[in-house]
Amino acid sequence: MIKELPQESIMVKENKHKMKHVFENNFWDNIAENPTEYLEKQISPLLKYQSQIPVEEMAFQLKTQQLGLSLLTNDEKLLKRIKKSIANDINSLPETLKAIKEVSEQKRKVLSEKFWKEIVYDDADFLEKTFTPLMKYRTRDPRQIIELELEDIISQQRLIKKVDVVTSEFVKEYRKKVEEAITKELADNPTIKKIMDEKEISDEEIMDLEHALSSIREDFTTEAFRQIFKQPHGIFIQFIRLILGLYEFPSFENEVAQAFDLYIKEHEEYSSDQIQFLRTMKSILSQKGKLELEDLYKAPFDSFGSGAVNRLFREEDVEDVLLICKTLGKKYDA
């Protein structure tokens, strides 16, 4: 999972030394360090930057693991709660799809009273392996999904999958619809209440809320939010707080300033000339939204002297700071 983190992300890039440490030979055999604590404190916060996370699959997988735990510990309360949730997930798999038809017999089996009366630990593993890959097809929408045999695409798709041109009016209307879905259909959702009260929320609660919202409309997803609100690295909870008026994404200028200021802070060895050169890069990038290697040999950088970038910085430092520029440039163009 660590290797799947987006390497172009500024925060991932800035913490690459932490991730590199995990793969060192003595990481798990070092009495001076607790590897589990290191992963929890140093690496776990970075996982939120992972893009294209299969939320449906991860949520169901977590539930099956909780089921296994409840069976091992004889936790009847947890078993009862997780049983209903898992059964609802499996029941909502539409059998009009070929992939679901192929496991229709298993589906009927796990929805029977007999299965749950006789359930053992191995059944939790069976549920995870059989149904986790199918959770992406789950729907609470009464409309049936029609599968085309040739290409497995949805016929006459009426929901937004891609918006080539997003106008400010479209964004305003879309945001209004999401807000209405939250305030009307999810008004009693405990996670929404926690968000409004600025309370801490678990990853499982976030995944459940994302699923609940996408069940109302299939384009109420993190992927759609990123495209429509032009925040390619935004995470689900940020978008919900944005829609509820509790959060604003930093402006492009602020993001550039934060990224460069942090980079400079991490390089205390830099001279005043090096810092000034970087501040000039920050200023130009904020104005133009784009900065490439050849630009560093032109005005206003030539005021530092001919080829100053080669004289002031090591090659790897130049690559690092240009990566920051490239990553921020993508957000500017979004």
Per-residue pLDDT at 231: 80
Q: Which of 48-57, 80-89, 141-150, 215-224 has the lowest mean pLDDT?
A: 141-150
Helices then strands, each counted (H, E), the chain:
18, 0
Q: What is the mean pLDDT of the chain?
A: 80
Rg (Cα) of the chain, in Å, rounded? 25
**Partners of 147 in beta bridges:** 154
Considering only CA atoms, which of 84, 205, 214, 231 is closest in space to residue 161?
Answer: 214
141 Cβ neighbours under 8 A, 6+ residues apart:
215, 218
Residue-wise pLDDT tens digits, 22-33: 777 776 667 777
With the CA atoms of 321, 327, 333 and 334 taken in that order, what torsion angle do they form, in degrees rounded to the nearest 10? -160
pTM of the predicted model, to two decimals? 0.41
